[in-house]
Amino acid sequence: MKLQFSKHIHTKILLVLLLLASTVSVAQEDKKKELEAKRLRLQKEIRLINKLIRKNTSKTKFIVDDVQSINHKIRVKRDLIKVMNRETNLLTSQINSNIKKIGQLRNDLTKLKADYAEMIRKTYKSRSEQSRLMFLLSSESFLQAYKRVQYMKQYANYRKEQGEAIVARTQELQALNKTFSKQKKQKEALIVENRNVQKELENEKKIQNEMLASLRKDTSKYAAQVKKKQRQADEIDRQIDKIIRDAIASSNVKAGKTTTSKTYALTPEAKAIGNSFAANKGKHIWPVSEGTKVRGYGNYRDVVNPNVTRVSNGVIIATNQDETVRAVYNGEITRIFATKEGVKCVLIRHGSYFTTYFGLKTVSVKTGDTVSKKQEIGTMYTNKSTGKTELKFTVFKNTTRLNPETWLYRM
């Protein structure tokens, strides 16, 4: 009784351990897939950056733009190296785990084969039908004869089970050896790729340092370029702020409310769109189908003077020449305006939220139009001086600026 109870407890513990091992294995495989997907996205982004840099280098007159491009490329490559290191570490862990499993399986298989060989040997000794018949006829009672019949059946079944166990363990070992071999090749490929990216990164750092040295020789020219860009950005931001304030005031006049209110007066339909827009935070599509984020939202360090902090009120996305710009969600075109250089900006309202798209050459919508998610609103403008094609994307809730990076998918 005690022996049976002990076996029962042992079986339960074994099942729990197997379940835990299986759970850990599944979690590791999920993490591996996640890291692989991230690595592929970063590799795709680097290919796009390389393509954009190749197109722009011959056209650019502003070295500061080249420095920003190389800085962005270095950041993405550093992220790629981190991801590949994590992938390599995870593969190492899986390989070590599989080495232990393979050793255990080989031991199990050796023991099973030895047991099976001994069983065959004993069966061979008592193989004749006469021996089996005599074994039954020598029974002292019918009950004993019945038990001997049952014993012979159980022995035959056990022999069959042992044979099946050997086949199963052999197949498991073969599958594990294949997985092990595949993991080793994956790890070796990652290590080679990591080394290549490290070499490329070192070369790009040298180029970056040469560019920075050139800029620091003529700080007044650099300062003038930065100042000019900042004035243009500030002017765009002021126009967008005013358009949103005016739109809010107009909505409140129509609703019979005070014009000093800083929140948009919403109809039930507009409120539903706003709620839906908010519910999709982090899931919204990018405003271009192919692009790379060259500058994020918030404070960032100056490329030449790291001690100087600058501010970005939106995200800057580099993309292809003549790339289509699309609405990230359903909404209404609030306003369209252009700079004196002909660069256009579109504002779309989604309930009490606004998204803005600055950097368009052509616009295919008009003020008051209702647009749907993914609908084309225009095409990208390419700066003739720098050769760059960049979209500035911002998000507001009423008059409050929000971080667009938290609203777009995987930004």
What pLDDT shows up at residue 373? 97
Confirm if 388 and 318 have CB atoms less than 8 A apart: yes
Q: Which residues of 18-53 are buried (b: 16+ CB within 10 A; e: fewer)?
A: eeeeeeeeeeeeeebeebeebbeebbebbebbeebb
Phi, psi of 262 (to 5 degrees): -100, 10
Encoded tokens for 140? 């002292």
What pLDDT shows up at residue 385? 80
Domains in the chain: ranges and CATH: 2-217 (1.10.287), 220-406 (2.70.70.10)
What pLDDT shows up at residue 122? 67
What pLDDT shows up at residue 283? 97
Nearest to 390 by CA among 380, 405, 400: 380
**Sequence letter at residue 322:** D
Q: What is the pTM of this model?
A: 0.72
Please name the helix (run of DSSP H) or strand (run of DSSP E) that holds residue 401, with its range, or none: strand 400-402
pLDDT tens column, 384-400: 888 899 999 999 999 99
pLDDT tens column, 84-115: 999 999 999 889 888 888 888 788 778 878 87
**Residues of the chain where predicted confidence (pLDDT) is lower than 70:** 1-25, 55-63, 119-137, 139, 146, 149, 151-152, 155-156, 158-159
What pLDDT shows up at residue 7? 45
What pLDDT shows up at residue 58? 45
